[in-house]
Structure 1
Amino acid sequence: MNKKKQHYDLPNIIKNDFLSYGKIHIVLLLAIILSANSIVIIVYKTRMLIAEEEKLRIEKKKKSDEWRNLIIEKNTLTMPPID
């Protein structure tokens, strides 16, 4: 007895079923993929903005410290000498 195994082209069968019966499913799948990509992009941009904000806060603190030191130095230099 020679029984031949029957092979199915599963990706093609799934594609045909989706096109015949599941058009709404394809639309929903695309909507899910698009919203997932949007979330990833928004999270990435938010993290970049948070990193930029932190960098600016550090720079502001350095400038503030430098300004404070300059004011102290100015006040020290303009003080009259004590005799």
Structure 2
Amino acid sequence: MTDAKDTAITKAARDAPDTQLVDSLMRKKRGRPFAEATTTKVSIRLSPEVLDASRATGNGWQTRVDELLRKEMGL
């Protein structure tokens, strides 16, 4: 096979619609993946003691506060 034929075959394969679909599906998405259940950003006023105690529990404190509120509300 000559270089010209190889180039023509490669170009035809890359231009095929199904190849473009596979390429687009296989491209890795950048950034953090989307969560199944999203949350809403809000501003809330808490007493300094509650905020300090929550933050003292370490990373994930906002999720734990959300869980406490959901439990208290029966959700």
TM-score, with structure 1 as normaliser = 0.28
More helix by share: 1
TM-score, with structure 2 as normaliser = 0.29
Q: Could you say which structure has the larger radius of gyration?
A: 1
